Amino acid sequence: MKIIMSGHSSFYVRENWINKLFYKVFEQDVNKKIENSFFSKSNLINAIDILGVGSKMVESIKFWADFLGIIEKTTKNIELSESMKVIFELDPYLQNNNSLWILHSNIFLKEKEKALVWEIAFSLPEGSTFTKESLEKSIELYYIENGSKFSSRMVLDTISVFIKTYYKDYRDSVNPEENIVSPFVRLNYLKEINGEFKFQNIERKDISDYMIYYLLYKKSKKMGIVNQITIKEAYEYVNKIVKMSYLNFEKTIQELEFQNELSVDRAAGLQNITIDTKRYSEKEVVKKILESELV
């Protein structure tokens, strides 16, 4: 599996970059395809002109478009992913926080790539805090245990990008560019106290129940024929992406069961969750997320 630790050019994703892609590159057409060479060095001047940013930012926008599952590439073309087609149809300005939750989740749903900093930070025991230093040590230990080479500068750089993706330190306003925050800051997901960071449990009122369904739907599709998962296993899986209390998770599952979106076999205390992955397409699930009312 490919480990993702670079490519962002030291830039966290900016509030307006995703909209720039949609309005300037794809020209508001969710079905538009662009040539694979758009982000190539030979087309750099054209990309700079269209996106209105510097060369390093063009490189970073390409990274985040891939990283967040915004685009899909074929041999010749680049097009919007299925989930993004729905998001741009229903929420082109990303005003619905559930759009951001989908993008956040896409980081963890890649089958051939692992976002190492994200994986390590979100795999910490429930209630744990971390510092830049502790995260650095965990990442370096991973590389050492796997016999891989690494650059300490690259590790620290990516940790900084990771934190700024979710957290804005308003005390730091030296660089005007840093005042353009990441859209994920709006989620209020990452908190900092005296240099220690912690991802907060999300309340049900702040996220669609169908967002949890989406995660379990994707996992069930990956599992194939044997797609049953216990509630405990489901919670542990979801909690590494979207932090929430076990009680809120159970309430979400109960509501989805009440809506006949999944079934729970409680015979002999098994509590196995089953999702019919043929009932909806991925686009239909994403549509349900964006159209659902929050509790």
pLDDT at 149: 85
* Helix H or strand E encompassing 99: helix 97-106
Q: Confirm if 105 and 210 have CB atoms less than 8 A apart.
A: no
- State in words which class domain 2-95 has: mainly alpha
CA 139 – CA 144 distance, rounded (Å): 9
Q: What is the pTM of this model?
A: 0.93
DSSP helix/strand/coil, 252:
helix
Which pairing describes strands 196-199 and 71-73: parallel, antiparallel, or unpaired? unpaired
Residue 158 confidence (pLDDT): 96
Average pLDDT of the segment spanning 164-189: 81
pLDDT in tens, 52-73: 999 999 999 999 999 999 999 9
Give residue 186's pLDDT band: very low, low, confident or very high (50, 70, 90).
very high
* pLDDT higher than threshold 90 for residue 288: yes
Give bridge partners of residue 78 from the DSSP assignment.
34, 73
2-95 with 205-291: one CATH topology? yes
Q: What is the pLDDT of residue 292?
A: 85
Lowest mean pLDDT segment, chosen from 116-120, 207-211, 270-274: 270-274
Amino acid at position 19, single letter: N
Which of helix, strand or coil describes residue 259? coil
Give residue limits of the domains in the chain: 2-95, 113-199, 205-291
* CATH number of this structure's domain 205-291, picked from the four choices 3.40.50.2020, 3.90.76.10, 1.20.120.550, 1.10.10.10: 1.10.10.10
Model pLDDT for residues 229-243, shown as the tens digit of each residue: 899 999 999 999 999
